[in-house]
Structure 1
Amino acid sequence: MAKIVPFRAVRPAKDKVSLVTARSYDEYSAAELASQLDYNPFSFLHVLNPLYINLQKSSFEKRFRLVQAKYAEFKEEKILKKEDKPVFYLYEIKSRNRTFTGLIAATSIEDYRNNIIKKHEDTLQYRVELFKDYLHQTGFNTEPVLITYPENAAMAKWKELKKQKRPLYHFTSLNRDTHTLWRIKNEGEIAWLQEQFDKMGSLYIADGHHRSASANMLYEEDKATGNVNLNYFMSFLISEADLKIYEYNRIIHDLNGMSKEQFLAALDNDFTVENKGQQLWKPEQKFQFGMYLDGDFYALELRDKYFSSVQEALDAQLLYDKVLHPLLGIGDLRNDERIEYIPGNKPVTAIKEAVDSGEFEVGFTLYPASIKEIKELADNDLIMPPKSTYIEPKFRSGLVVYEI
């Protein structure tokens, strides 16, 4: 039984919402970030990165204090305002190719601790502690955990009916995505939504394992204060059918001392290897891998497809077990400087360009993991290798803020 609750969100003034909201901070190049900070005084990036020119020279504690001060300034200037009462939101993101619709709500730390909200990724302790300190110092979070649930007919019908109502916000961002937000403040409607989630056996974290772990750590440290907001963390709940799962592709700086011919011969032990020449080939099904090496694309298909667990059968795990570790000497997927990652929403030409530049020797493309694999891993307390999935939608910073 999953528990969701409404909360008194902080959000932009209606006339400034398109100016305030921003993509996730780390999605901006240095030039884009400078442009936003120089020419848009309302951007939430000013909150996330105050005094941006000298910020990298400051301690984390000083940075977090500056973030909190800038956030308070945005509220004082009425750029941001707080809801009068606890609410839910229905949020739609419409891009050229897809439409995502989900519910913004607060989800339960108790459910997280009791594995009703299930995980499939490992976390890095230093990142969990750092974001916990950020939450403690700033007192807010604007990046919800992306959680998925099994779609049901009642919820699907409700979403379609709700989208016929007048929205709170409707705007287009600079990347030409259209964003629409409906506020849900009717007590009967809120209770009905809570009932729908109460019937669900489990929820699954799609993206945001570090954020949820940080919220749990903050709760453990500060629960004695009696702050009820610590009992929950903000989530964007989206049905499995609406989720888009991409792979993370790999590019490697060298062949670990092997020649091209030696490497291809070694691959032949576990894969059928077909030279595709200049065809921009990507895997078409599970157990297939694409490779770009020395100006040619290759199709690799695993020979032995029998495994004892879903974890062993993950394509990202197989590439590590059969190629990256034994042949290329990649041990630590998170920290080895010889490997880098390109999300699957980028074209395959991005891998070609990286290898053709001479900086990298070989690139691999993978077939995306399925929601079935993710859920089976989570149900069995198993984890994926680092950088296995790139999942959309991505939430805009500053659209909805959860205060702690």
Structure 2
Amino acid sequence: MDNPERARILQHMEHRSDILIVGGGLNGPALALALAQTGHSVTVIDALAEKVRKNAAFDGRAYALALASQRLLDAVGVWKRVEEHAQPMLEIKVTDGHAGAGPSPFFMHFDHAEIEEGPMGYMVEDRHLRRAFLEAMADETGITEISGKTVVSQGISAFGTTLALDDGSTLTGGLLVGCDGRRSGTAERAGIRRTGWDYGQTALVCAIEHELPHHGIAHQFFMPPGPLAILPLTSNRSSIVWSERTETAKQINALPEADYLQVLRPRFGDFLGDIRLQGDRFTYPLNLTIANSFIADRLALVGDAAHGMHPIAGQGLNAGLRDVGALAEVLTLAGRRGEDIGSSLVLERYQKWRRFDTASLAMATDVFNRLFSNDNPLLRMSRDIGMGIVGSLPGLRRGFVREAAGLTGDLPKLLQGRPI
């Protein structure tokens, strides 16, 4: 048989794994590693070619990883690959005010010294995380990666789930997991509807170089159009996530670099000296979207496929990694008991663990954004007094620090730094 004919036949053969994961961004690979390391065979499918994902250039995107999330990355063998690129977050300062007018005298200041575990979290650039996940998956024999292929259909039976790809190949498994973002095709094909709304805001994202050191301090400055987050990266650099009304953001992003900086400077202030852009700048619309169910027949949703929220608290990836830890633990323990990991009984445990927590977090970020993204004098007075009270009470401050570090609630074992 000639090689082209052999390749054609192999392409149309079925490939079987315990678990099929659609989406190779961050949550998908994290889940694949956690599951493979507990004995499951996993296939990860991503529409982007691996070369594109692995060789992404610096574009300013970065993530605030809570301490609990860092523990999960360490547990699955990824942290050692990004540690040298991680910037510890030692303090968080939260202020309220107007662009160019300076912050309100009332503020909140959280210091990692108020907890015993270490830094509240770390800032890590997107490019380093993605490359580290790809390298870790390549070293794991229980993981099969399929890149540059798109899922065109999915189906279920009493004993498994089936995916058809755009190259004509078929994949089968005991469980399908959607890690494919807010517009999850996996959820849509399963008939899972979503609840949510648009904020009328757009985030402008970029990275800057600044003259003075940031000392590992993250800043959140609330202004009437939306918040500005200044998040420390390694060296004298910071990641900017800056929310504006959608039409205003569109106009700002279209400006030449010098004019863009002129708009940013009065909002940013001069506490870090002179600033200049580094890398690309881009935008993304802000909305709230929650899947009406995190599970269906032989299917589970993780990360943004299950819940997308406002970035006001930087909890998007952290919430997704909690999903990863919870689902990996539920499936692994069920497998050890000899249960069918794709059964509704098993998947309900995952949904019960994660749905209320993520819905509560999404609502909290929604309320927080609405409370601060306005210029109502009475609300301004109330929130400034509230920040002053929180900032003056050590017990409340410590609670906020532990929340920011991801150390509260019913934590999966991987986020506690413990093996499943």
TM-score bracket for the superposition, by shorter chain length? under 0.3
Using structure 2 for the length normalisation, give the TM-score: 0.24
* Structure with a larger share of its residues in helix: 2
* Structure with a larger share of its residues in strand: 2
Using structure 1 for the length normalisation, give the TM-score: 0.25
